[in-house]
Amino acid sequence: MPTLELLRPDHADALLAFERANRAYFARSVPDRGDAYFAGFADLHAARLAEQAEGVCRFHVLRDAAGELVGRVNLVDLVDGSAELGYRVAESAAGRGLATAAVAEVCRLAATAYGLRSLTAVTTLDNPASQAVLTHNGFRPGYEFLLDGRPGLAYRRTLTDLAPSA
Q: Residue 127 sits in which domain range?
A: 3-158
Judged against a pLDDT cut of 70, whether residue 166 lies above it is answered with no
Residue 165 pLDDT > 70: no
The answer to whether residue 165 sits within a structural domain is: no
**Single-letter amino acid code for the residue at 36:** A
- Mean pLDDT within 31-42: 91
Whether pLDDT at 117 is above 90: yes
Report whether 99 contacts 72 (CB < 8 A): no
CATH number at residue 21: 3.40.630.30
Domain count, the chain: 1
Dihedral angle of Cα 44, 150, 123, 12, to the nearest 10 degrees: -20
Residues 6+ apart with CB under 8 A from 100: 132, 133, 136, 137
- pLDDT for the residue 149: 85
Kindly report, residue by residue over 48-107, the tens digit of the pLDDT. 999 999 999 999 999 998 999 999 999 999 999 999 999 999 999 999 999 999 999 999
Is the pTM higher than 0.85?
yes
Residue among 51, 48, 74, 50 at smallest CA distance from 61: 74
Q: Smallest Cα–Cα separation from 127: which of 147, 101, 105?
A: 147
Could you tell me if residue 164 is inside a domain? no
